[in-house]
């Protein structure tokens, strides 16, 4: 027997309306584990749901998608899989919601002024406040 061959387990996934029988790689935290390209077509990740205009709608994940990256190093990624049957349509943004979010990104936390640019997320300060705070510091080169 090939030692690299993975153990396949038959599992039943109930997605709200029907039971799907599929081969999985085992279980993790009580959820069936699928590899890349092995999950049933009725189960999608959050990003896949988003691509088709859906959202999980508060449901718990039904399975896990586990895979390793080839480059630059082999790290394991785990993604939750949700039922397409239970998913709901994405909510449209509230009018002005994007405008308020962009205004918050342009507001300095020190002087509370709205700038013409997005303030850096590391300091949340406008350039004038940042330079004023660091003006008294003198760096000595060794």
Q: What is the pLDDT of residues 33-43, one digit of tens each?
A: 988 888 888 89
What is the residue-wise DSSP string for 51-85?
A: HTTEE-TTPPP-EEEEEE--SSS--EEEEEEEETT
Q: What is the pLDDT of residues 76-114, one digit of tens each?
A: 889 999 999 899 999 888 889 889 999 999 999 999 999
CA atoms of 127 and 89, how far apart (whole Å) = 41
Give the model's pLDDT for residue 35.
86
Going from the C-alpha of 120 to that of each of 76, 89, 99, 101, 110, the distances in angstroms are 32, 34, 18, 15, 13
- Six-digit token pair at 101? 């979010």
Prediction pTM value: 0.60
CA atoms of 142 and 140, how far apart (whole Å) = 6
Give the model's pLDDT for residue 5.
47
**Coil, strand or helix at 33:** strand
Give the model's pLDDT for residue 73.
73
- pLDDT above 70: percentage of residues in the chain: 77
Q: How confident is the model over 4-19, as a mean pLDDT?
A: 58
Whether the per-residue pLDDT at 8 is higher than 60: the answer is no
Q: What is the CA radius of gyration of the chain?
A: 24
CA atoms of 104 and 101, how far apart (whole Å) = 5
């Amino acid at each position: 027997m090939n030692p690299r061959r993975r153990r396949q387990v038959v599992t039943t996934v109930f997605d709200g309306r029907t039971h799907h029988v599929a081969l999985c790689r085992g279980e993790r935290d009580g959820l069936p584990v699928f590899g890349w390209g092995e999950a049933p077509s009725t189960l999608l990740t959050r990003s896949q749901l988003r691509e088709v205009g859906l959202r999980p709608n508060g449901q718990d994940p039904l399975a896990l998608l586990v895979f390793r990256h080839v480059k630059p190093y082999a790290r394991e990624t785990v993604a939750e899989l949700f039922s397409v049957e239970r998913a709901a349509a994405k909510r449209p943004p509230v009018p002005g919601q994007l405008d308020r979010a962009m205004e918050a990104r342009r507001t300095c936390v020190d002087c509370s002024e709205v700038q013409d640019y997005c303030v850096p997320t590391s300091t949340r300060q406008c350039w004038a406040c940042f330079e004023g705070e660091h003006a008294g510091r003198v760096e000595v080169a060794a």
